[in-house]
């Protein structure tokens, strides 16, 4: 039974160590330069149904058997089975207990308040979310400022609930508490550290 299930799971990275290092460098660059859109080197992984190539690559890179994850993927999703097989990560039914949140359908009712923003003693314990969006483009739209941005960075994002930005602003106002967010779309990635100020 287990062997059959494993045989039906799509492969992960072609070269796990090298490919994960490449994706990790993209994640670091995205967080160091908020709002800058990067192309994730996701051509080395076959994403399962339910995950974009960027989300799949980031998942393989950041998740492991010591990282508790919350996701809105359905229990019977091939993507969930794929993550369990390749990452070995445990999943929590409670977003507040998760170190990572993988949100595949944010417009279906994403509630940022349910995730852990860290504490004054341990702000690094805050959750990191990677969120699938419909479009991710440079140009007129959101105006980003803060550390890592020279002046102003603009970003167009579609596919998030209407209250996403005001709720994020409120949560991240209590710096150093907050949520670090990676927006993914196709093979594209943009970082939103908790220190980034976003204006519509």
Domains of the chain: 2-199 (3.40.50.11310)
Give the tens place of pLDDT for each residue, 64-105.
999 999 999 999 999 999 999 999 999 999 999 999 999 999
- Go through the chain and tell me how many residues it has: 200
* 169 to 50, 60, 74, 102, 112: CA distances (angstroms): 28, 29, 29, 20, 11
Give the contacts of 75 (CB within 8 A, at least 6 positions apart).
none
| pLDDT recorded at residue 1 | 30
Q: Label residue 4 by pLDDT band (50, 70, 90).
A: very low
- Alpha helices (runs of H) in 33-77, residue ranges in sequence order: 53-62
The torsion angles phi and psi of 168, rounded to 5 degrees, stand at: -60, -45
pLDDT of residue 135 exceeding 90: yes
Closest by alpha carbon to 136, among 183, 181, 101? 183
Contact 12, 44 (CB under 8 A): no
Q: Give the pLDDT mean for 3-18.
A: 74
Residue 140: predicted pLDDT = 83
pLDDT at res. 6? 52
Give the pLDDT band (50/70/90) at residue 108.
confident
Give residues with Cβ within 8 angstroms of 3, minimum separation 6: none
Beta strands 128-132 and 100-103: pairing type?
parallel
């Amino acid at each position: 039974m287990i062997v059959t299930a494993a045989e039906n799971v799509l492969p992960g990275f072609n070269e796990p160590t090298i490919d994960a290092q490449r994706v990790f460098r993209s994640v670091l660059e995205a967080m160091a330069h908020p709002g800058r859109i990067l192309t994730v080197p996701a051509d080395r992984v076959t994403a399962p149904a339910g995950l974009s190539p960027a989300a799949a690559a980031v998942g393989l890179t950041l998740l492991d058997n010591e990282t508790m994850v919350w996701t809105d993927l359905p229990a019977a999703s091939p993507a969930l089975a794929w993550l369990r097989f390749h990452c070995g990560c445990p999943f929590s039914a409670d977003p507040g207990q998760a170190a990572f949140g993988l949100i595949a359908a944010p417009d279906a009712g994403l509630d940022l308040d349910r995730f852990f923003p860290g504490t004054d003693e341990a702000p690094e314990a805050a959750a990191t979310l990677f969120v699938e969006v419909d479009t991710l483009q440079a140009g007129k739209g959101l105006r980003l400022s803060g550390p890592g941005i020279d002046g102003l960075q603009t970003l167009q994002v579609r596919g998030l609930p209407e209250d996403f930005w005001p709720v994020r602003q409120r949560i991240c106002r209590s710096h150093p508490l907050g949520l670090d967010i990676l927006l993914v779309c196709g093979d594209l990635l943009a970082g939103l550290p908790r220190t980034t100020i976003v204006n519509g």
